[in-house]
């Protein structure tokens, strides 16, 4: 793992999903094979493989304190092109500092992660006026998870973290994107632990070789996404879990 400390010029960027995105890190140690954020290497100059490096924007809290004072208030997505709670956050605590600034200023926040480290900051989340925490969970099969998300936390740890947050009265959701083979088992795992579920295929083709190597190429087809997505959505609704398909 290569870690660089850098100083950014800005920290709140415009987002097509929410009003702003906040990324305190460049790069992600989860090393998910399908990750769309790999395009960042075109702009960062890194020669290392995606998943082998992280740049920590050590002045992120300083920048954010200045930007919330002068920018129009809007919902902030933590994060768009990295996982804000990847393991490097344990030491740098940049996400925690930024989250505290946003909450203290009354800004709405959507946190999206794959890491139970978010529970460390439950004290801040519980006093937020408008916050939701989402976990990306792409399959219910740990063997599939290890193929496509080799550096990410196990599925059970994510579900347990969701249950803790939900029980604490914090709004929770799950993003099943890309939904991988054997995602149907998530219905039983998530019932009673989330306020809603989103399903998307997010097929950026970075991981096509892994589907073929492991005999899962049928899950790359449009027929799979149409059939499995509809089946999954219906199953969540039968379990009284609000579910929306994004494609």
Whole-number Å distance between alpha carbons of 112 and 85: 9
Mean pLDDT of 197-213: 92
Sign of the C-alpha dihedral computed for residues 145, 181, 237 and 173 taken in this order: positive
Sign of the C-alpha dihedral computed for residues 122, 95, 3 and 138 taken in this order: positive
Chain segment 58-116, per-residue pLDDT in tens:
999 999 999 999 999 999 999 989 999 999 999 999 999 999 999 999 999 999 999 99
Q: Are 49 and 55 in contact (CB under 8 A)?
A: no
Burial pattern 12-27, b for ≥16 Cβ within 10 A else e, equals: beebeebbbbbbbbbb
Q: Which of 200, 196, 216 is nearest to 208 (CA)?
A: 216
Is residue 124's pLDDT more than 80? yes
The gap from C-alpha 214 to its chain's centroid, in whole angstroms, comes to 25
- The domain segmentation of the chain, as residue ranges, is 1-134, 137-247
Average pLDDT, the chain: 95
Q: The whole model's pTM is what?
A: 0.94
Diameter over CA atoms, the chain: 53
What are the φ/ψ torsions at residue 47 (nearest 5 degrees)? Answer: -95, -15
Q: Are strands 20-22 and 109-113 parallel, antiparallel or unpaired?
A: unpaired
Is residue 41's pLDDT more than 90? no
Look at residue 160 in the predicted model and tell me its pLDDT. Answer: 98
Is residue 153's pLDDT more than 90? yes
Sign of the C-alpha dihedral computed for residues 142, 144, 145 and 151 taken in this order: positive
Specify burial of residue 75 (Cβ count, 10 A radius: 0-12, 13-18, 19+).
Answer: middle
Instruction: For residue 84, give Cα distances in angstroms to 42, 67, 130, 218.
Output: 21, 19, 18, 32
pLDDT band, residue 202 (cuts 50/70/90): confident
């Amino acid at each position: 793992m290569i870690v660089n400390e850098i100083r950014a010029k800005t920290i709140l960027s415009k987002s097509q999903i929410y009003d702003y995105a906040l990324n305190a890190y460049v790069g992600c140690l989860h090393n998910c094979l399908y990750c769309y954020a790999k395009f960042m290497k075109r702009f960062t100059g890194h020669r290392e493989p995606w998943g082998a490096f992280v740049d920590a924007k050590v002045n992120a809290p300083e920048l954010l304190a200045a930007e919330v004072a002068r920018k129009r208030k809007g919902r902030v997505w933590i994060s768009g092109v990295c996982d804000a709670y990847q393991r490097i956050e344990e030491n740098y605590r940049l996400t925690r500092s930024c989250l505290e600034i946003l909450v203290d200023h009354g800004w709405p926040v959507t946190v999206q992660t794959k890491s139970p480290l978010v529970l460390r900051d439950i004290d801040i989340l519980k006093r937020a006026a408008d916050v939701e925490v989402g976990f990306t969970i792409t399959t219910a099969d740990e063997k599939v998870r290890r193929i496509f998300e080799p550096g990410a936390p196990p599925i059970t740890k994510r579900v347990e973290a969701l249950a803790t947050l939900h029980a604490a009265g914090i709004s929770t959701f799950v993003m099943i994107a890309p939904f991988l083979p054997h995602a149907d088992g998530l219905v039983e795992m998530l019932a009673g632990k989330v306020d809603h579920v989103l399903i998307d295929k997010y097929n950026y083709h970075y991981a096509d070789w892994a589907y073929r190597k492991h005999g899962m190429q049928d899950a790359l087809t449009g027929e799979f996404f149409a059939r499995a997505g509809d089946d999954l959505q219906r199953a969540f609704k039968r379990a009284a879990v609000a579910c929306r398909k994004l494609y």
